[in-house]
Amino acid sequence: QQAHQLSETTGYHHGMMSSNLGFGLVHHYQREMEEAMEYYFMALDMTQQGIDLNHPDVELLYNNLGGAYIDMGFRLKAREFLIKALELQKRNQSQGITTAITYYNLGLVYLYFGENQSALHNFMAAYPAYLERYGENGARVAQLYTNIGNIHDNLGNIEQAEEYFQRGIIIHLENHGPGYWNLAYPYTNLGSLYVKTGRRKQGLAYYFKSLELCQQNRKELIRLEALNHGALASYYLEEQLYDRSRNHAYQAVNIMQEAFYEEHPRIGEFYTTVGQGYMEQSNFELAYQWFEKAKDLTIKGYGERHPQLAKLHLEQSKIFLETGDYSHAMQQAQQALIALSETFTSRDPKTNPEVAAVLNERLLMNILKQKGDVFSGMAKQQNVQENLVAALTQYQQAVSTIDHLRRGYLSESAKLFLQNNASEIYQKGVETAYQLYHLNQSKQYLAQAFYFMEKS
């Protein structure tokens, strides 16, 4: 306040920019995002007043705008400002903590977009400065470990993910005790990991531990409180407790809308869970409507190319497959592939992107399996053998994707987890190859059936 008054009195533009940045920081740390953004943009306006645009304060401004957009859910805008910050830091040869925080924030953005290797690169670029500034047992280092754990989780490296989550938990517990608000993040992530790997009750306990911390520290953890309700909605969906699932999904939506704004992109994930519940109850019309609402928010928040959007197209493809509308089922599956890659554009259902060109290989595997199922349905409906051959090709490419994933997985448990989730693809491949053998007695299809059995 004093700096701003003096700067205004003397017409010192840089001082006005820096003091507005300071006001923004105060509000940002208190999670008062609207006020923070107002001051950040006042500071940004001052950069047009002839100040030195290479000054470290401008680096900090760009970085904080990126961080604020992350908190608000605008990942594309966050990436835009963080890249500006990093370009300026490279020009200035800045090596300090501000540059490390920029790398960390960029890592978060890439993590949200499913670009795991880019996320890991940025987190590791931040790591040395984090260690130097905060120490090996610093809370920020623990946060870094938690997010590296998220990358390993995405890649299916179960032991590594659990190890990094536990490292973050130990640091927080030893330095701040069991009531420390930052523990909520690794608790949620560990809960998700345990649920996904079959330790469901243990995972549920961690969700509730995290939720308790969120409710005790609502100002700092309001977004995570919503995400925990979203996780519980998914948990109860898998338990086929649909009313309980929807109740948690609606709570997640309400919290996110009250704390941020009505069209926060993460709300799309909660809508997706509601849609999946209605789909499992065979209420396909309602399911489709919820998926459409989720798609609208996802596109606004993440753009036309994102794994979450691909997942929604896949869910809608499943609806059309269930109802026998194979044409629309295939269109949605192909659109899922387009959303899953930055470069793939083909609408030819017999064409697929290269594994290296997609944002999420496991999702690619599921979409290829779905296309195989749609081609199989078309073959039965139209009695066209060519469609059965196309189905077999999709299952073969899905198996190639599994092989690619296995090569990238570090642990045997991760490979086993993948194999268990891929078993239906092998089964469908065997059945399709055997059908083709019965149709034309070609021994190549017996060889294909054996290939799928051997892979399984």
Distance CA 372, CA 263 (A): 35
Q: Are 452 and 395 in contact (CB under 8 A)?
A: yes
Query: What DSSP line would sit under 301-327, residue for residue?
Result: HH-SS-HHHHHHHHHHHHHHHHTT-HH
What are the Cα distances from residue 127, in Å, to 83, 93, 100, 130, 157? 18, 17, 7, 5, 20
User: Who's near 438: CB < 8 A, 6+ residues apart?
Assistant: none
pLDDT of residue 33: 84
- 203: exposed, middle or buried (Cβ count in 10 Å: 0-12, 13-18, 19+): buried
Distance CA 193, CA 172 (A): 19
pLDDT of residue 52: 76
User: Who's near 212: CB < 8 A, 6+ residues apart?
Assistant: none
Residues of the chain with pLDDT under 50: none
User: Who's near 344: CB < 8 A, 6+ residues apart?
Assistant: 337, 338, 353, 357, 358
Distance CA 235, CA 240 (A): 9
pLDDT of residue 352: 96
pLDDT of residue 417: 66
Distance CA 172, CA 180 (A): 7
pLDDT of residue 31: 80
3-state SS, 410-434, equals CCHHHHHHHHHHHHHHHHHHHHHHH
Q: Is the pTM of this model over 0.75?
A: yes
pLDDT of residue 408: 65
